Amino acid sequence: MRAALAGSVPDLSTTTKGTQMRTLITTTGVLAAMVALVSCGQTQNSASTDDYPDRPIDLIIPVPAGSSTDVSTRFVVPCIEEELDATIVVENRDGGGGAVGNGLFAQAEADGYTLVSTSVGNAVVPPIAEGGVGYEPDSFLPVGMIGQAPVVLVVAADSPYTSAEEFFAGAASERLVVGIPGPTSVPGISITALTSTQDLQLEAVPFTGNGNTIQALLGGEVDAAYLSADGGVTLPRIQSGEVVALATAVDEPAPSLPDVPTLVSLGFDGLPLGDSFWFLATQVDTPEPIVTTLEGAMETCMSNGDIQAQIGEGVAPPEFIPGSDVQEMLETAARGYEEFLQ
Amino acid sequence: MDILEGLLHGLEVALSVQNLLFVLLGVTVGMMVGVLPGLGPAPTVALLIPLTFTLDGPTAIILLAGVYYGAMYGGTITSVLLRIPGEAASVVSTMDGHAMARQGQAGKALGLAAIGSFAGGLFATACLILFSPTLADFALGFGSPEYAVLALLGLFLVAYTSAGTTLKSLVAIGIGLLVASVGPDPITASPRWTLGVPDLLGGFEIVAIIMGVFGLSELLVNITESRRPTSVTRTIGRVLPTGRDIADSAGAVGRGSVIGTALGLIPGGGGVLASLVSYGVERRVSKQPEEFGSGVPQAVSGPETANNAASISTFIPLLTLGFPPNGVLAVIFGALLIQGVTPGPELIGDHPDIFWGVVVSMVIGNLVLLVMNIPLLPVFVKIAQIPPGTMATITVAILVIGAYSINGNPFDVAVMIGAGLVGYLLRKLGIPPAPLVLAFILGPIFETNFRRSLVVSDGNITVFASSPVAVALLVVLGVVIVTAVTGRLWRMRSARPGHAGEERARRLP
Amino acid sequence: MTDAEVIGHRDGEVDPAPSPRFVRACFAVLFAAAAGLTVSVRLTMPVGSIANTEPGFWPFWVALLTTLLLGFAQVRPAILLDRAEAITGAEARGLALALPVLLLAVPALGQLGVATTTAFVTLYWCKAVVGSSWRTSVVTAAAASAGILVIFLYLLDVPFPAGTLTGF
């Protein structure tokens, strides 16, 4: 046994000048081959619109798996696959507040084979706030809404403020701390707009995500929270009575919170769109027939009651919102945010 | 969910076919890693992260945890038989364990170590089950000031418990904090040090940093070793210890369980520290301390119990506070983030599958290891013979492809390589790399909570002493700093097993 | 199991002590880098004060404290040399062989795709860095690449982007 095993160990201890030389040549050779291959130019895949889709479609989600954009998109994907008779490869490319994934999307060929599911914040904020991220707010051609979550102002159930009027009256006379889910989140921009246009002593403190923000509110660290009414964190706690919704930042009362007054109805005008929404999009130069195909599939899938229920009541739009409407909202949001993102 | 309900739920999760397979896979890989010198548990767990992308949350963590405690069992084998610690926490077993092997008692040493490890593992798992939910509930009441002080305390403890001089650990922490500050500012989101590079806008990818600092730097440090295999012979002897042997070691196992579980909780703690302290304690309580080093069974069973107990109790701070106490748990922290789970006090409530499934899998895994250990000994000894060059070739490919698989972005591969080179140079300069990674995680937690507290309090610094918990943490922090500055012997240097072991330990994170 | 076992073994080697001059030079570079970072934060980012922290606040204090620590280390050679190791000639040669392939792998992944790059990296590593024979290298590289690709592409189904040049 010993002999056999000892024999199996290759003897590498004697390195002569000759083998060193050969190693050097090998090294140079392999490296040179790689350099040659790497430095060659790029080939292009040409798009064909007639038989779309004839190969798997990449769907980029610029946020981590498990976030609300990701989860709700994944509910829709199997239906779209069926509608298009194609495989959709979902890729989470998070980083840079959506900049990484959206940048990859915008730079891909406009052939309908690289789609994106992004939220308005991820689509609009990085190009305005950072610039040079490889895309602009108008790099997206929406083909349908997936979900919506209005921005809502909530306080803890034991808060001294029971209505929006009382809250804003309080904020006019004393410093109130409001938790937001992130500095460049839609609520974050909305509250910047609120404090810069109104004479209110509101101090916005960014937390990380809705769960963390609600926790800070329930722990008494902040006086109020200003965040999106998502189906995972905020809506259930409003329904259970742990927190009380005082106002929403959308123009019309939100379907999920019909009795909550809007900031507009309270007299706060000129605020940017306080609505977190996320949608499926392709590149602006995508051939018309492909856009039509995609939008058709989205309409069928988003009108499906089961999928709406999976995404969540009040989150999934009760009626399909087509790409052109989404695009309008996106443009409105971009214009509104630009003013307050400096 | 109370404990009984939780355990039942955990059984349901852990006993699914997939999770049973993955706990088996995890502990087997762990044993192999423990056996193979050079590749410690942190680099291996880092290498396995890409494999967890497509797994469910519980399965992913069950696999990675299995690798960690499995390595604690495996490391003993080469320490005892060859006087080469397969991983750092088994360094002390190269003393008495190897001495026993030379006296023909290798089997007894390995048997005692395995039984001790099992007992220690069960004890630590019981503590994990009993205390974690309470601790997490308590931590749910923590606000930003408490978290800020806790993170600062963690950073200091990491500095003082890491191998080497405190000053060098602090330098590693400084580097980790600076690397972590690249990317968006946590309060205003304005970009810092991004130099206009879009890939940097989100900061460095944590998994790429971990793979580089632990995996690639390890490979580069051992780059010459792929060229020099030699051989040596050893005998194993009778494996099963007698009832008498077990009775003699019962005290050592008991003490090792408590020491290991306690030291696993401390930032910078874990297997290495636990085994060193246990060795020191055993020598102190022994009636013949002068015999230590010449083959005392308690000097093997105690430390081996302690390192396994510690490898399990290190999960308590991660799963209740969201604080990874050492390098391996830092990697598991990254794996949880990839699963869309932010480690913190909400974890047990929000993801009961992960917490209870992993806890129950630890009992199963330890049982598997105990049963597998002895009959498979010859197989694991043979694994130690895989040529290091072959291992290195496989490792480098996994590192490159693994880093690429995180986001399909070659930039992450570049980050991994950069982190590997930095880690390599730091090791050469005697700067331990693990504090860098821990600082990379704890730094943003501190900065965010520190600055958030100050915004909430309108710039009033007394906010950090505004609750009893925060005051208590500040007192502990003060004690740690004062002790470190005046005494600097906090690490129980007397527990050092001597120069040889220390020399080996320093190579590993 | 009482049989004799033969095991690969690397005992009895002592790591060479590093040249103090090299270690000191490295720490001097680290010190200079930390000092440079401190200055650059001060100049490029608003630092603010404790009452009103700005983005540069934390990086500035971390960089400053790290600079001070490294400055203190400059005058304590005993601390500098603690646990430091020399880079031996063999190691430097190994690194010189390893670095190019690592750095080339970054653009290669994007252009040549995962499969081609893996094959190149493993073959190169086995032949040039480890120094195996051609036959061993080809066999090891083929086996390692095949194993890794099967795991990542088929078992895990990781959606790697195709190489822009090769199309796979």
Residue A17 contacts C where some CB pair is shorter than 8 Å: no
Q: What's the CATH number where A157 sits?
A: 3.40.190.10
Q: Tell me, yes or no, whether A136 and A283 share the same domain.
A: yes
Chains with ≥3 CB–CB distances under 8 Å to B: A, C
| Residues in chain C within 8 Å Cβ distance of A42 | 111, 164-165
**Is the CB of C3 less than 8 angstroms away from the CB of A40?**
no
Q: From residue B309, give the alpha-carbon distance in Å to each of B322, B330, B461, C68.
A: 20, 18, 39, 38
Structure tokens at C67: 């600079």
Decide if A94 contacts A62 (C-beta within 8 A).
yes
Check residue B489 and give its pLDDT: 42
| DSSP tag of B185 | -
Residue of B nearest to A178 (CA): B456
Q: Tell me, yes or no, whether A161 and A140 share the same domain.
A: no
Mean pLDDT over residues A5-31, rounded? 49
| Residues in chain C within 8 Å Cβ distance of B404 | 109, 114, 160
Residue of A nearest to C167 (CA): A43
Task: Sort strands B191-192 and A114-119 into parallel, antiparallel or unpaired.
Answer: unpaired
Q: List, as one string, the DSSP characters of B340-354.
A: T---STTHHHH-HHH
**Is the CB of C124 less than 8 angstroms away from the CB of A38?**
no
Q: CA torsion B163→B164→B170→B173, rounded to 10°?
A: -40
Q: List, as one string, the DSSP characters of A269-316.
A: -S----EEEEEEEEETTS-HHHHHHHHHHHHHHHT-HHHHHHH-TTTS
| DSSP tag of B241 | P
How confident is the model over B153-204, as pLDDT tens digits?
A: 989 888 877 767 888 999 999 999 999 999 888 888 888 998 878 788 778 9
Is the pLDDT at B271 greater than 70, yes or no? yes
How distant is the Cα of B453 from the closest Cα of chain A, in angstroms?
Answer: 9
Burial class (CB within 10 angstroms; exposed 0-12, middle 13-18, buried 19+) of C161: middle
Check residue B413 and give its pLDDT: 95
**How far is Cα B262 from Cα B264, in angstroms, rounded to an integer?**
5
* Interface mutation vs chain C, best among A27, A28, A44, A100, most C CBs within 10 Å: A27
Decide if A142 contacts A295 (C-beta within 8 A).
no
- Give which of C88, A190, C146 is closest to B222, Cα–Cα: C88
Which contiguous run of DSSP H or E holds residue B357?
Answer: helix B352-373
Check residue B416 and give its pLDDT: 95
What residue ranges do the domains of chain C occupy? Answer: 20-81, 89-155
Decide if B306 contacts B256 (C-beta within 8 A).
yes
**Tokens 């601790």 sit at which residue?**
B135
What is the band of B233 on the pLDDT scale with cuts at 50, 70, 90? very low
Of C112, C127, C128, the CB nearest to A37: C112
How confident is the model over B37-46, as pLDDT tens digits?
A: 666 788 888 8
Of B201, B342, B455, the CB nearest to A130: B201
Residues 6+ apart with CB under 8 A from B68: B30, B41, B45, B311, B328, B332
Mean pLDDT over residues B289-315, rounded? 92
- Give which of B335, B132, B342 is closest to A213, Cα–Cα: B342
Is the pLDDT at B468 greater than 50, yes or no? yes
Residue ranges making up the domain that contains A111: 57-148+276-340
**Tokens 């969540």 sit at which residue?**
A312
Decide if B401 contacts B208 (C-beta within 8 A).
no
Decide if B210 contacts B399 (C-beta within 8 A).
no
Decide if B105 contacts B291 (C-beta within 8 A).
no
**How far is Cα B365 from Cα B65, in angstroms, rounded to an integer?**
9
The tally of domains found in chain A comes to: 2
Q: Which of A228, A248, A268 is the last residue of a domain?
A: A248
Of C133, C136, C165, the CB nearest to A37: C165
Is the pLDDT at A322 greater than 80, yes or no? yes
| Residues in chain C within 8 Å Cβ distance of B376 | none
Helix (H, G, I), strand (E, B) or coil at C7: strand
Given phi > 0 = left and psi -120 to 50 = alpha, else beta, which region is C145?
Answer: alpha
Residue A94 contacts B where some CB pair is shorter than 8 Å: yes
Task: Sort strands A57-61 and A114-119 into parallel, antiparallel or unpaired.
Answer: parallel
Decide if B413 contacts B400 (C-beta within 8 A).
yes
Check residue B424 and give its pLDDT: 94
**How far is Cα B124 from Cα B114, in angstroms, rounded to an integer?**
15
Q: What is the mean pLDDT of chain B?
A: 85
Q: What's the CATH number where A286 sits?
A: 3.40.190.150
ipTM score of the complex? 0.91
- Give which of B39, B79, B62, B42 is closest to B434, Cα–Cα: B42
Amino acid letter at B329?
A: L
| DSSP tag of C35 | H
The tally of domains found in chain B comes to: 1
How confident is the model over C26-83, as pLDDT tens digits?
A: 999 999 999 999 999 999 999 999 888 999 999 999 999 999 999 998 888 888 888 8
Longest dimension (CA), chain A: 91
How distant is the Cα of B214 from the closest Cα of chain C, in angstroms?
Answer: 16
Is the pLDDT at A326 greater than 90, yes or no? yes
Residue ranges making up the domain that contains B156: 3-505
Q: Which of A248, A265, A295 is the last residue of a domain?
A: A248
Q: Which phi and psi (to 5°) does residue A235 adopt?
A: -55, -45
| Residues in chain B within 8 Å Cβ distance of A182 | 189
